[in-house]
Amino acid sequence: MPAAAVAVRRRTAGDREDLLGRLMLAPALAYVILLVGAPLVLAVLLSFTSATAGSLTFTWVGLANFSRLVRDSQFQLALRNTVVFTLVSQALVIVLAVTAAHVLDAAFVGRRAVRFLLLLPWAAPVSLAAMAWTWIFDSTFSVINWTLKVAGLLRGWLYWFGDPTLAMIAIITVHVWRMFPFATVVVLAGMSAIPQDIREAAVIDGAGFFRRLVSVQLPLLLPIVTVSVLFGVVFTSTDLGVVWLLTRGGPYNSTHVLSTLAFQRGILGASLGQGAAVALFLLPVLVVVAAVMLRVARRAEVGA
Amino acid sequence: MRARRRRVWRAVQRVALYGAALAFTVFAVFPFYWMLLTAFKTNRDLYVGATDLSHIPWIFNEPPTLDHIRLLLTQTPYLVWVKNTALVGALVVAITLLAAVPAGYSLARLSGRWGERLGIAIFLTYLIPPTLLFIPFSRVIALLGLQNSLWALVLVYPTFTIPFCTWLMMGFFRSVPRDIEEQGMVDGYSRAGVIRRVVLPLAVSGILTVVIFAFTLVMQDFVYALTFISSVGRMTVSLGVPVALVRGDVFYWGSLMAACLITSIPLAVIYNLFIDRFIAGLTAGALKG
Amino acid sequence: MAYVETRNLHKHFGEVRAVDGVDLAVREGELLVLLGPSGCGKTTLMRMIAGLEQPTAGEIYIAGERVDADVPPRARGVAMVFQSYALYPHKTAFGNIAFPLEALGRPPAAIGDAVRKAAGMFGIGHLLGRRPRQLSGGERQRVALARAVVRSPRVFLFDEPLSNLDAKLRAVARFELKQFQRQIGTTTIYVTHDQVEAMGLGDRIAVMDRGKVRQVGTPQEVYDNPADTFVATFLGSPPMNLVEWGADTLLGFRPESFQPRAVFGPDEDLLTLRLRVREVEHLGSSRLVYGTLEERARSDQPVIADLPVTVTTPIAEGEVYDFAVRRAALRYFDARTGLRRHGPA
């Protein structure tokens, strides 16, 4: 027997699972703690200070940033916009996604191709997609305006980024366009997880399409739809790129959301404290989302 | 009579199905079609203005041109941005693999009961968005003297790639049967040897998936790049194209859309190949039941 | 001299005592079967011997060397065959069998020879280039066995290696396994819940229940002289009849020794019991008679008699017959502890 085989008869570091486990986890954990945990704490701390980007001094100002914000009409609008964008776009996304998933689930020719095309919006870098939409909504060259005109649906002219309502519609359109393919694929994954015999049982029982949808599929799809909505809420409510690239918060600061306002005040305006305070208003949303997510996961586990 | 009515109803359903599929597809694909059209249209064909109802913008009214692509590749820093993106992407992927692969294994096999909880906790940090972190990061980056440096991105991007990829790898490692690992240990290998000789070869497809997703996540970022990078020569594609491909106030829409197109499409194709694993990772909890 | 030995071995998972103080001595060269219902701790016990599970308390010795605390599985000189065979899916059959030898750092030429020799033993030489998913269940089992043999381990550990085979193949595989173990004479511990497998394979059987070893003995000993009511009813199909016999005694007798009175000679030392027949099952090679005893003895379960086809006495349902057991075949147990007693008390 070679010497090497004899030399390692006793336990070495490679055999000690507890030690190995900690060593292997350490880099990732350190990264997350140092570069996610610590900055998160720093974000909270900054929001209580009057820190600016230029100097490295902190002055503790307590709740001053927050009390100023709550009275700030600009902030109130941004908060409202964030809620509106998120809720409206997610509502549309659910309807579109459940419908699209049912369409895709039915066997038809070219299904794979359709699925591929549907996923393009989600896979493309968001900033580039936003640029395409900026061009589509261009004030002079908008193909939408041309088409509406030719169809006889439009009398005057739509200045998409010149009018607050139109700008909001444009932003919501882009959010929906971006999120619904993702939601569709998630729901589709959920549908294929519904056992075939349950579906067939419903068909044999003579339930019609809508009865089947409402009383069999939707309840079974609920957890997966919840997950997709939660991700949608997180991605939409915290998104900065779409609003920033489409409108820069304009016209007249009417389409600012919390993230763009935080960017404007914290980075461009250099008052880190203010910006951090604005962004911090997103934290409760995330906490709620995380809590619901954990519940869904746990219930799925108990059910299994 | 009944049978015939049913046949008609079937046909109507069929038509409705294809109609709906078509509508969804058109909505999803339309901006990409628009990129394609714009990228290859001559300027004369492009900048007519939507008020001219006789000029149909949906088609090539003049023969397509490669001028915009040529301009993009020769007159703009696009290729520099591609290089920067590739560099940052490669480094971030490397860091992510070094951290996430061992961590995923540790959580799946070596951390016992609290491994599950710690795994969920790490995954939840993926939900903490850049919006909450870019302000404190700007302070951290300033302290480290990394303003306007690609190294700032290399440092920051793993904060979202590591949690997500750790979670994905945890799932992959769980799917390797325990028996096989234990067999390796009985067959004369230490746990570390089993990881190297048995587990990693079996997790190759998982590792490949992680590489792809880490890279696409890097490509998706706009916020951090916008916050940390100000010189045009140090930008990534997803920052440079929207903010720096403008001369003065003039948008070069042809080149801009060309850039969007040739960046998005290859990415989307690769992404599509792996999307099912991505979904499986995200929904691991909800689908288990 | 025990070759593999455990002393007061414990494994607790929280409140659950999976293995609860096991003293087991496996002799060199024998095939010992760990038999018990699922959850009795037999697999945990085997995994502790392999080193895949750390004992909560107790000692394990292999060939006189204490291994429980500080010797990792790879250095214990054991080879294990899992229920799933646990073949490495990314390796060919050759790669699978060669893997333990690579761990020992053998030169490639020696590895090749050893692999081909081991494969030859199991008649799978022509399959060495295939991957596990290209092999049938029986072929996989042979690859797993060849992999276990190839590095000449001190001990074989088998965890229900036949349960994934279909019934027909299983009988053949059992026979081959026994032949092969006899031939190479390596100490073997074999876990199963299948008593037929245990009786057929084992030089000795250790019957386990709820983390404890109830009895160790040759198949015949365990079957004929069960140490307690658990062993008595776990072994044998149908199981031993147990009827109350006085205040604190249970009387046990095997269905096949419980026959119509007429079967026995007139001078034999018998216990005769009147049986009211409830049901008769014809199983081809035998008849199973279910009934209740008319006098003295009571039992919750029906009493069963297993009559070979050679016994042609007509039996009708609903009637009462005289049945008898030789007194030598009677077993007595303590009603409270379930332990064997050597007389009616």
Q: What is the DSSP string of C236-279?
A: TTTTPEEEE-SSSEEEEE-GGG-EEGGGS-TTS-EEEEEEEEEE
Q: How far apart are CA B56 and CA B45, in angstroms?
A: 9
Burial class for A41, CB neighbours closer than 10 Å (0-12, 13-18, 19+)? exposed
Tens of each residue's pLDDT in chain B, 289 residues: 677 888 888 888 788 888 888 888 899 999 999 999 999 998 888 888 777 888 888 889 889 999 999 989 998 999 999 999 999 999 999 999 999 999 999 999 988 778 888 888 888 888 888 888 999 999 899 889 999 999 999 999 999 999 989 988 998 898 888 999 999 999 999 999 999 999 999 988 889 889 988 998 899 999 999 999 999 999 999 999 998 887 666 678 899 999 999 999 888 888 877 777 666 666 654 443 3
Nearest CB to A300; choose among B27, B242, B286: B286
Chain A contact present for B246, CB below 8 A? no
- Chain B residue at shortest CA distance from C78: B186
Please list every residue in chain A whose beta carbon sits closer than 8 Å to the beta carbon of residue B102: 23-25, 27-28
Q: How far apart are CA B110 and CA B102, in angstroms?
A: 10
Give partners of B (≥3 CB pairs < 8 A).
A, C
B182: its two tokens: 């234990």
Give the pLDDT band (50/70/90) at residue C214. very high
Q: Determine which helix (DSSP H) or strand (DSSP E) holds B217, and give its type and residue range.
A: helix B204-220
Alpha helices of chain C — where are they, by DSSP H?
42-50, 93-103, 108-121, 137-149, 167-184, 195-201, 219-224, 229-234
Give partners of C (≥3 CB pairs < 8 A).
A, B
Please list every residue in chain C whose beta carbon sits closer than 8 Å to the beta carbon of residue B187: 74, 79, 99-100, 103, 147, 151
A97: its two tokens: 């996604």
Cβ of C86 within 8 Å of Cβ of B188? The answer is no
Q: How far apart are CA C247 and CA C269, in angstroms?
A: 24
Distance from the Cα of A88 to chain B's closest Cα (Å) equals 18
Lowest mean pLDDT among C120-129, C190-199, C278-287, C290-299: C290-299
Q: Determine which helix (DSSP H) or strand (DSSP E) holds C192, and give its type and residue range.
A: strand C187-192
Cβ distance B146 to B88 under 8 Å?
A: no
Cβ of C75 within 8 Å of Cβ of A4? The answer is no
**Torsion sign (Cα): C246, C249, C250, C253:** negative
Cβ of A8 within 8 Å of Cβ of C75? The answer is yes
Chain C contact present for A2, CB below 8 A? yes
Q: How far apart are CA C260 and CA C308, in angstroms?
A: 11
Chain C contact present for A1, CB below 8 A? yes
For residue B63, the SS3 value is coil
Cβ neighbours of residue A204 under 8 Å, at least 6 residues apart? none
Cβ neighbours of residue A58 under 8 Å, at least 6 residues apart? A45, A46, A49, A50, A51
Chain B contact present for C202, CB below 8 A? no
Nearest CB to B264; choose among A15, A125, A157: A125
Residue C48 region by backbone torsions, left for phi larger than 0, else alpha for psi between -120 and 50, else beta:
alpha
Nearest CB to A15; choose among C72, C104, C105: C72
Give the pLDDT band (50/70/90) at residue C1. low
- DSSP tag of A98: H
Chain B contact present for C78, CB below 8 A? yes
Task: Give phi and psi for C241, each to the nearest 5.
Answer: -75, 135
Chain C contact present for B190, CB below 8 A? yes
What percent of chain A lies above the pLDDT cut of 90?
Answer: 31
Residue A304 has pLDDT above 80, yes or no: no
What is the CB neighbour count within 10 angstroms for residue B118?
18
Cβ of C51 within 8 Å of Cβ of B185? The answer is yes
What is the number of CB-based contacts under 8 A between chain B and chain C? 59
Helices then strands, counting H and E runs in chain A, come out as 16, 0
Q: How far apart are CA B172 and CA B170, in angstroms?
A: 5
The predicted model scores a pTM of 0.86
The ipTM value here is 0.88
Distance from the Cα of C14 to chain B's closest Cα (Å) equals 12
Cβ neighbours of residue C320 under 8 Å, at least 6 residues apart? C274, C275, C276, C277, C294
Mean pLDDT (whole number) for A153-160: 84
Cα A252 → chain centroid = 26
A159: its two tokens: 């200045």
